[in-house]
Every structure is written in C-alpha cells, then in structure tokens.
Structure 1
C-alpha cells in the first residue's frame, strides 16, 4: 500500500491562484514540519471523529487533518478560497468526510465538533477563542506569540491578566510550540505560537459565570490599582450596585493586592462575595 504524502503547501497556494493578503489577515502556514506537527498536539485519547478548522486558507492544514480525522468541517470566510477547498478536496467532500462552510467563524453556526485545530486569523483570534472555549472541547490553535503567552500565564507573572484567568476558567492552557514568522507566506510582523487547551472544570465555584468573567475584566482594567480601588472604580463594568459593601466585607490582605497578583481562585472567592453583598 502506497503511503499517502501530504500536499505541498506552496503547490496548494499556486493551484488556488492567489497569495495571502495581510490586509485581509491572510498568512498561510507553509512550513511542512510545523504543519505535520500541529495535529500531533491533540492528546492521544482525543475523539477525532469530527475536527473543526477555522480559516482553511489554501488547505495545507485541512489536508493534514483529513489524514487523522473521520470528518473535518472547515470554516473559510473568503468565497474564492472556500470554492477552491471544495474543488481541491472534491473526493473528501463527495465521501462526506469534508464540509466547507463559507462564512465568518464569529457568525456561522458551528457544527457539533469533537476537537478544533486551526491557524486562526490573528485579527479576530481573541473573539474566536472565546467562542470556542465555552464549548469545552480540546483545542489546538495558532496565535500571535504574545497573545498565546498571555493565555497560558500564571498569576504573578508580567503576562498574567484577564485573558489568563478567562482562558484558564475553561481549560488547562499550554504553549506547545513557538513558530517563527518565516513559517508563513506572506511573512507576518510577529512571531506565533501553538496553544493546546484541554477542557476541565475549574478548581473553584462561582455563583454566576458571566458575572465572574465581567468582574475579572473590570478589575484588570485597573491592574495598577489595589483591588480595593479597582473594585470601587469599576462598578459600571462589573455591574455592582454597592462596591463599598464588597470592599468592607472582603479580606484586607486580598484587597491590598493588585489584580496581577490575585489567583483565579481568589478572584472566584471575591466574585462570590460581590455577588452576595454588592448587587
């Protein structure tokens, strides 16, 4: 039996008849070694029955995903590239193994996927990530390196912030590979990184998930202030009616910290108190 060879990414771009357009946030991943490694970052026991890819481009990663999955759904907002993917992978489409959805990943109805592996459009990577994370499915996603490191940051580090707490609320987040900008065509201005998100429940409880996330966001808008001042100054963001009641009831040592030093569990404890006495 002849071993299947992955499609060459440069040849795919030539057949597609177009280059990536930085103005449209199109940077095609063309490094074969990186492309081959990305699917391997899915945990061994992950359900590969239906993989989701957002931003299919010319199909280099799509090709690799079809080699490891029963079915793949790819979302591509560029109508010409969506048409190319259907033509290039016509056999997989005919077999029911590939579905190409033309549209914006922030607007289209996502299928009931088992895991997502994507080289995301960087301009909307945050919005897409936070559409995917609440689905609580395994994710392997390419981001700008700075964004990736903030997602995975621990409390007390310079990179730790709202993004770290919010992503960590849904999953264990780890940077699994740094990718040089030369791996893309056209070459972007920034370095990139691959992030693996393994869903799990947090080790704390919150009375209301949206309130907790809004509360964290509010506090980090004043990360240089003590939590005492941050809670008082951001009631219009967190939705508190009586922030002073929260400050008065909270632990003094916690309220003397700045947001960057507050762990997710401490944020949850304070958010629960705010939910009880501050609304």
Structure 2
C-alpha cells in the first residue's frame, strides 16, 4: 500500500522550477504570479487556517500546487479555481504523483480529494455546481485559503465573501499593504474602502509576515497573511449596495469632510448634512473616522427620507 512521503509530498525550490520549466510557464507580473517554493511556509499557512481533516477548502490561484499539497496533507478536501489552463490541467497530475497515498477512482482522478475549476475567480457564481467532485460530495467550501495575486486580491476576497455566504473563514497571503488595509481600523492612515467593505462581512486581522525569499521569482514587495472571520453585517434596513455606495463616495474624496464628499451622493452639501445629522454623524468628520455601522446608518437615513 502506498504511504505518505516523509515530506508530505510538498514541493521544494527544485521541484517548482522543474515543473515550471516542463510546462513552459514563466511567471508574469500581469497575472501576479509568484510561486511559493518553501514547504515550511505552506505548512504554516495550513496550520494558521486551522485546516482539519474533512474540511472543504477553497483555494484560488493554486499555481503549481505548493499550497494545495499542504492543504491535502492537513486532511482537507480542496476545490481550486485556476485561470491558467496549463496550470489547471497539470495540478491533478502533480497531486497524484506527489501523493500516491490518496485514493483515485478507476479513471485515475482524485475527485474525492481535489476538484479543479478552470475559471477566473471573479466569474465564479455557483461554485458547488461547478466543482462537482470534492465540492459536491462534501458540501460547499467553508474556508478560503490562498496565495492571492497582488493585483486582484481585494476584488477576489470581497466577491467570494459576497457570493459564498457559507465561507466562514478566510486566510490569504497578500501584499503587506493589502493585508494592512483589509485589517485597518477607523482612524488609521491606511483605513479605506477595502477596510470598510471587508468589515461588512467579517472581522479582519493580521496573521503574520511572510519573507520574500519563499517565492519564485522573488517579488519586489513584502507579503503578509490576513485572516477574516465571518460575522453578521450591521443591523440595518439599507442594502449592502446602498451602504457600499456611501463608502465609495466618502473615500472618493477622502481629504474632504463628509458634508462635502457626500454632496454628489446626497444631491447637495446641505442635503448631505441633513442625512448625516439624522444618522448621528458629525458632518465635519472625514470618512476615515467612521466604522461600517456608521456608514450603514447614513445609507439608512437617506433611504428613510431624512
């Protein structure tokens, strides 16, 4: 009987380069591709995500499979979304070769453990239906664990939280600046639109730094882990879309007071002030001082005709 390799079958630097070379894959800045080649890092990510045997985990942008293998080693059933056709096609073969202990069906597939969805994550609407295999057999993913391309990290996180209410936890590796913005609190210098919109869905916190040398090629920016734990949105009669419209307007001119920044959204500076006062918000404040609940009150006040 096949047994699990002593190294969990994880990829090292030589493995990553060999795989990329065989596939003719050259990491591109356009796709934000920086492949992780350090086994310790992917083990750490799986551990910090609290992945347990039987968990169904969503991974976006698995690349050559470094993190995928770590999630499988932790006992997860993994549904991956990969936009690159070559990488999506190769991943099952990589997993089968590195993890011969995983039971395959008669056709050699690993559907009970791994399901690959060839798609842009921003285009995914019904993941369980697309996934089949691991996703359909075990239920929809409850955790998102990924090394996200820097240029699409925020849209991917917010889109998946919106479309997949069953996602309870997120742990992603992103550019440090992105992680700090997602986890920022009102009043901090980096607090902005991503901070507020993420707070609508979840409580975000920094979960550790990641060195540049664990990537190939080595990026020009620092990376970090950010954790988001699902919670209920603010109690409000306003829709998410209406609340986010206020947020966008407030930070569209973040140096201006809310009275001025929301003038276009409300119809005039005077009308903006009326709405703000009805919501219990000082019109002379800037958007960076408000939490998501305050933005919800503003949207609600306007909808109520204040």
Answer whether contact 1:166 1:213 (CA < 8 A) is retained: yes
C-alpha separation in 2, matches of 1:40 and 1:245 = 51
Partner of 2:283: 255
Partner of 1:49: 55
Matched, 1:273 2:301: yes
Shift of 1:96: 2.0
Deviations 1:219-276 (A, max 9, x none): 11111111111111x32xxxx4566434225328611111111222222222211222
- Structure 1 gaps of 5+ residues are none
What is the DSSP-based 3-state SS (H/G/I as helix, E as strand, rest coil) of the residue aligned with 1:24? coil
Shift of 1:204: 4.1
What is the DSSP-based 3-state SS (H/G/I as helix, E as strand, rest coil) of the residue aligned with 2:123? coil
- Structure 2 gaps of 5+ residues are 103-108, 129-139
Q: Aligned ranges for residues 205-220 of structure 1 at < 5 Å?
A: 205-220=236-251
User: How many residue pairs were aligned?
Assistant: 272
Partner of 1:88: 94
Deviations 1:79-133 (A, max 9, x none): 1111211211236543521111222111244232121100012221121111122
Matched, 1:129 2:157: yes
Partner of 2:118: 102
Partner of 1:169: 200
Partner of 2:7: 5
Q: Aligned ranges for residues 46-85 of structure 1 at < 5 Å?
A: 48-85=54-91
Partner of 1:119: 147
Bigger Cα displacement from structure 2, 35-44 vs 209-218: 35-44
Which residue among 208, 230, 245 is the counterpart of 2:271? Answer: 245
What is the DSSP-based 3-state SS (H/G/I as helix, E as strand, rest coil) of the residue aligned with 1:196? strand
Partner of 2:18: 14
Which residue among 171, 179, 190 is the counterpart of 1:140? Answer: 171
Which residue among 34, 42, 49 is the counterpart of 1:35? Answer: 42
Shift of 1:38: 0.3
Bigger Cα displacement from structure 2, 30-39 vs 203-212: 203-212
* Displacement over 6 Å in runs of 4+: none
Call closer, same or farther: CA 1:88–1:132 in 2, change over 3 Å. Answer: same
Answer whether contact 2:16 2:37 (CA < 8 A) is retained: no
What is the DSSP-based 3-state SS (H/G/I as helix, E as strand, rest coil) of the residue aligned with 1:190? coil
What is the DSSP-based 3-state SS (H/G/I as helix, E as strand, rest coil) of the residue aligned with 2:7? coil
